[in-house]
Amino acid sequence: MKKLIASVLAVSAIAVAAPASAQAWQNINQRQAQLDRRIDQGVRTGQLTRAEAAEMRRQFRVIANLETNYRRSNGLSRRERQDLDRRFDHLSNRIRYERRDQQERRRY
């Protein structure tokens, strides 16, 4: 009986973990919206200077324009999607770093 309960618990733990990992991927529009919100929030809370936010928004526009160019050529290929994911990951990490770097911010 104990073996049966243990095996049922093990199988249910695997079943619960599988959907959580499936949610890790976001489509491009969701990632763009999330990054834009994080930049806005960083400015509102004073974690990002206006100059930092402007540079991140510039990088954001570069990625968005690249996505547009990729989509014009028969949609996004796997390689193009990976490239965009890599670029979004880099920008996301940069936002995280800049929001935590403890620079002194001036509030106007």
DSSP string, 3-58: HHHHHHHHHHHHHHHHHHHHTT---HHHHHHHHHHHHHHHHHHTSS-HHHHHHHHH
Q: How confident is the model over 76-80, as a mean pLDDT?
A: 91
pLDDT at 15: 39
Q: Specify the higher pLDDT residue, 92 or 28.
A: 92
Entry field: residues in the chain: 108
* pLDDT for residue 4 is more than 90: no
pLDDT band at residue 107, thresholds of 50, 70 and 90?
low
Between CA 37 and CA 26 the distance in angstroms is: 15
